[in-house]
Amino acid sequence: MKVADLPIPESLKSAYADRGIAELYPPQAACVESGIFEGKNLLCAIPTASGKTIIAEMVMHRHVADGGKCLYIVPLKALATEKYDDFSGRGVRVGVATGDLDRRDAYLGRNDIIVATSEKVDSLLRNAAPWLGEVSLLVVDECHLIGSPDRGATLEMVIAKLLSKNPGMQVIALSATVGNPGALAGWLDAELVTSEWRPVDLREGVFFDGTIHFTDSEREVRRSSRYDDLNLVLDTVGEGGQCLVFVNSRRNAEAFAKRAAGGLKLSEEALDTAADAIERAATTDLGRTLALCVRKGAAFHHAGLSAAERRIVEDGFRKGSIRVISSTPTLAAGLNLPARRVVIRDYLRFGNGGMAPIPVGEYKQMAGRAGRPHLDPYGEAVLIAKGATACQDLYENYIDAPPEEITSQCNSENALRSHVLSLVATGFARTPAGVIEFMERTFYAWEHRGRRSTIHETIGRVIDWLAEREMITALGDRLEATEYGDLVSRLYIDPRSAEGIVDALERAPEFSGFGLLQAICETPDMLTLYLRKGDEEMIYRFLSEHEDELWTGAPYGTDELERFYSSVKTAMLLQNWSEEVTEEMICERFNVGPGDIHNKVETAVWLVHAASRLASLFKGEFKRPIEEDGIRIRHGIKKELLPLIRLKGIGRVRARRLFNAGIATPAAIREAGTARLAPILGEKTAASVLAQIGEGADERTVEEETSSRQFSLSAFGGEGDE
Ligand SMILES: Nc1ncnc2c1ncn2[C@@H]1O[C@H](COP(=O)(O)OP(=O)(O)OP(=O)(O)O)[C@@H](O)[C@H]1O
């Protein structure tokens, strides 16, 4: 089937022609034949890199040409940005929504295609973004995530809400790994296209005793070191390919990259450039180790890396200079970095009950990364077996096994608490029967059709819980959100988080920054740091000096106590950050990477913002200090830098330099002038800062701006310098 014959705009056809896309791949042709251009829903369950995104893009352009609007849901922020880049520059307006979770973002509605995470779409629904009612096409990428225990319910509810809001909307769901595509297609009333076809041949095999055993062939691997995993990498690199190695922990990722660097020992200009860039920006040992590895051609990749480090590693790999990346599996879903050989070294991972095998779906996601379209002659996915029996088991359990069936995660009290509140607050349901009726439209109900389910009881318990906490009122048959409940729904926090924060605020005798931090760190919305050996002493010592600043006391019971200490430890990290402790010191003290600090700070900023809104309902006098602390946490600054940080181009480092030079306010900056500022800030930043505060402007204007508009806390928006 030719692209030229498809009912899509000419501009898109020529964009594809420029990229050499003239003929549809067979599964893409099957999707067209299933009726996607006639408005039929589709579940496209075909392998990685077989052209799913392009199928969705073509239908999106058809909708836009007909005056429609498209929403493209992805699981991760990083993927949203990637898809935004993919779809941009082809004659349609593209927007990406990944920002704050309690905003309506009305401007987004001006776009034809909006890319967003499921959480962001849920929050937009709660905040009644009007353009959601205009969505004519919904694309759900990686739709198997409906089965994810922590985020699946949100994705499912978002689909159900959008379908109920826009009954005529077309839905296209995409996935490479659904075990029960028929069920999902049934729920979505969708045509189903499945296929094993891939643009690059994928060979899956198990390495054992010096040989990779594929289904119908074998390949000997030269033994150049005593480590099997390294031999597998050197073998591919020796033939001009690249490798991805999946391991089960950060420490293993780092250790393997070091081993690979020692084995590769490359020396190339492109590698030196990448290593120099990492080294220059590195503030921690992690960054310095990464630079050492990259210089020799290897890298590691995990959530502890800073965004800049990650970018350099990904670019270096895409351009072919970095030959091997060792990565933790959680990153497999987010990385679009195909490689000739993918080594799944660790198929056991530490979970709740000890070491457990990874799911088949996860293996398939990782294996699917093998083979770069147009670049590699084939792709290889290799598991490493410890013995002959393990070799057989790995074949049966992974290579020949279908991915797991996905099941709905909606019948969980924790998930329903938040979703029932939002159904009531946004008017999707006004009675208990209305909630049940809405839930009848979910995948859960479809899976349980004709069978007894317990969801009615769960809904009943959740309604009682919300009513007891005064988030909803249940008068007679009528459910209504209270002002408090409505706020919690819009803030997009777990109702249990709201309860914890409000309790803490009400108990607090006076405001304390650490009390606030510990209260937000105790909520289920904060992923707290693990406790490690030796942490107790640090935490005890801290608590002995700061216990009276806490808004809650230490609980009884071992589990509760452990959670409490984790929350204190996490709050300590955040406090260190807002006391301007260096990144290097924080990383060392808390055994984390710069990426972890960033993630904790991001969540804390969101929760502190929620706390300030809750304070305006329940503890007005705390609102202002909470807002101020929110700014301090966002930027990692002491209070004295607040007047400086709100200038564009000034982050924690430059603000501190200015302050230490005796320049502590915008007025002092103006007075200092270019001559004093340039050596501290550099000429460009000095000029920009002076322009912002109106050098040469008359006194009144500057004073006006200082006291109100530009420098008010609510208008805060300074940009960092790191
Ligand atoms: N019909 C085609 N002819 C040639 N190249 C194509 C065709 N369709 C897609 N491609 C190219 O193949 C690559 C993979 O396509 P695409 O990103 O659409 O796959 P995908 O299935 O969405 O991948 P993933 O599973 O990683 O999300 C892209 O580089 C794309 O430009």
Annotated binding site: 28
Residue identifier of the C-alpha nearest atom 29 of ligand 1: 373
Last residue in a domain, options 147, 174, 194 = 194
The pLDDT value recorded for residue 699 is 35
Tokens representing residue 92 in the block: 């349609």
Same domain, 231 and 310: yes
The string of pLDDT tens digits covering residues 412-469 is: 899 999 999 999 999 999 999 999 999 999 999 999 988 877 888 999 999 999 999 9
Sheet holding 341-344, edge to edge: 218-220, 211-214, 202-208, 379-384, 341-344, 243-246, 324-327, 298-301
**Res. 721: pLDDT tops 70:** no
Q: How far apart are CA 264 and CA 241, in angstroms?
A: 13
Whole-angstrom distance, CA of residue 680 vs CA of residue 662: 11
Assign residue 576 the CATH number of its domain.
1.10.3380.30
pLDDT for 134 beyond 50: yes
Which two three-digit tokens encode residue 493? Answer: 């926090």
Domain assignment of residue 517, yes or no: yes
Q: What is the C-alpha to C-alpha distance for residues 693 and 704, in angstroms, rounded to an integer?
A: 11
Domain boundary among 636, 663, 684: 636
Q: Are residues 550 and 623 in the same domain?
A: yes
**Do 38 and 61 belong together in one domain?**
yes
Residue 370 has φ and ψ, to the nearest 5°, of: -80, 135
Residues 52 and 178 in one domain: yes
Kindly tell me if the per-residue pLDDT of 697 is higher than 70: no
Asked if residue 319 is part of any domain, the answer here is yes
Q: DSSP secondary-structure letter at 339?
A: B
pLDDT tens profile 50-74 = 889 999 999 999 999 999 999 999 9
Burial of 269 (0-12, 13-18, 19+ CB in 10 A): exposed
Residue from 212, 229, 198, 221 nearest 378 by CA: 198
Instruction: Tell the residue number behind the tokens 């799913």, with chain if given.
Output: 52
Residues 328 and 439 in one domain: no
CA angle, 303 then 309 then 315, to 5°: 110
Q: Are residues 180 and 214 in the same domain?
A: no
Residue nearest ligand 1's atom 30 by CA? 51
Q: Are 322 and 277 in contact (CB under 8 A)?
A: no
Q: Which residues contact 507 (CB under 8 A, 6 or more apart)?
A: 551, 552
Alpha carbon distance 54, 399 (integer Å): 27
In a shared domain, residues 529 and 580: yes
C-alpha 603 chain-centroid distance: 12
| Ligand 1 binding pocket mutation candidate from 1, 6, 8, 53 (most atoms within 8 A of CB) | 53
Answer yes or no: are the C-beta atoms of 471 and 485 closer than 8 Å: yes
- Return the residue whose CA atom lies nearest to atom 1 of ligand 1: 24
Q: In the sheet where 170-175 sits, what is the strand order? A: 94-97, 113-117, 69-74, 135-140, 170-175, 42-45, 191-194
How many domains does one find in the chain? 5
pLDDT in the model for residue 703 = 34
- Whether residues 582 and 653 share a domain: the answer is no
Asked which of 186-195, 345-354, 416-425, 628-637 is least confident by mean pLDDT, the reply is 345-354
Any idea of the CA torsion for 330, 331, 336, 341, to the nearest 10 degrees? -80
pLDDT attached to residue 103: 58
Which stretches of 265-359 are DSSP H helices? 269-281, 285-295, 307-318
Range of the domain at 457: 413-490
475 in the same domain as 386 = no
> Which domain CATH number covers 444?
1.10.10.10
406 occurs within a structural domain: no
User: From the CB of 177, is ligand 1 less than 6 Å away?
Assistant: no
Between the CA of 247 and the centroid of ligand 1 the distance, in Å, is 27
Do the domain assignments include residue 722?
Answer: no
